Structure 1
Amino acid sequence: MRPRVLVIAAAMLAITGCSQQMVGQPETLPPQSPDSSVAPPIPQPHLSFERFLSRPCDVLTREQLAAIGITRDPGKVDTSPVGNRCLWQADETTDTAVSVTLMTSSAGLDGAYRNRNRGYFSETQIGDYPAAHADNKKPVGRTTPSGDCETVVGVAPSVAYRAGARAYRPNPDYEQPCKASDRVALWVLEKLKVPN
């Protein structure tokens, strides 16, 4: 009798364990369709770039800029339709020029998703934060004088920044400019994670 009681008790524990696991489990979101105009949720801690709004050129260090061939340009601040940005020109036409825009007048990453059909668009991630590649022209197999890509990274609801890259032949970034903009986007993300 005792072995049978143990078997029944073990079965009851297994059933109870299963039901307890199911209670309180997070609801699984339905997969997004490939043409979704809604950006994915931000699973990481929300970040802010507010402290850089008046000085967007401070989001990159001189060492980072030198790593992509920008050694003389300290950066030029200007205002784009979506927010303040800093532009760094390459020292030579064979180097990569970059920009960072703090998108204060936009819908964040949702805006990039809503405009996904206006040009080149692909989903990606930067440091586990949702992001997207966007540009007016397809960056692979292009015949344009420069290779351009923009990486838009969502760091909080309706809050995103944009890292841009422009390269010319024979720079390898010409054929894959999104690799360059991703690298800049990751540098910016690392800066935003540093406490004030």
Structure 2
Amino acid sequence: MPLQHPKEPDIHPYTPLVTAACLMVSVTVINAPWASAIGVSVAVVASLIIRNKAATLAAVTIIIPACVSFSLMYGLFGSWATAAALSLRFAAVVGCGVMFDSLVNPDALMRALQTWLPASIVYVVGSVVRLIPMATSRMRAIQQIQRSRGVKSQRRKLVIPLVVGLVTDAAQRSRPLSRTGIAQPGRRTVLYPVRDRAWERMVRFGMVAVMCAACVWGIAG
């Protein structure tokens, strides 16, 4: 019986990723206001259920400037319908993508990918996924150090220490990784494999099938 990780997520990381991808592709390919409205509704309901303030704020921060840009580019020249359609579609795509991707556990995703992807690719993907949390943590540490020294914390004084620190961390991680044989071919085993329930696999396959049918219908229509 495989060991279970003490912080095992409730859902497999592939499930929210597939959900986000299917919704984003379907809304884009169908290219209709009603499809965009459904996408926005799904994103709003997801935000109310998930209650992730950071993800909601990130989605709103991305969507509002884009909607303003569409209004300036199309609305001021009389194409308010085009501006509204583009804004609604963009809000649906970004909202669904950000809200469902916020459910993905980075560690569980890396463990799931490690069973079939080369270790070097998993390391690159993991580095990208963890870049923002690592940068945030290091920035807080730099701010605390500067405050302890009586230095006023300013953004321009954080850039160089932050970049140098991230590069140094990457160099330090590369040495032990090279000794573990990360570049060697072959399948890897995982101490705590991610549990992939049968119903989740069925849901993912069903969503992909519905997405394909919606895309065919949207292209043919």
TM-score by length of 1: 0.21
Higher share of residues assigned strand = 1
Q: Which one has more relative contact order, counting CA pairs under 8 Å at least 6 apart?
A: 2
Between Structure 1 and Structure 2, the one with more helix by share is: 2
Task: Give the structure with higher Rg (CA).
Answer: 1
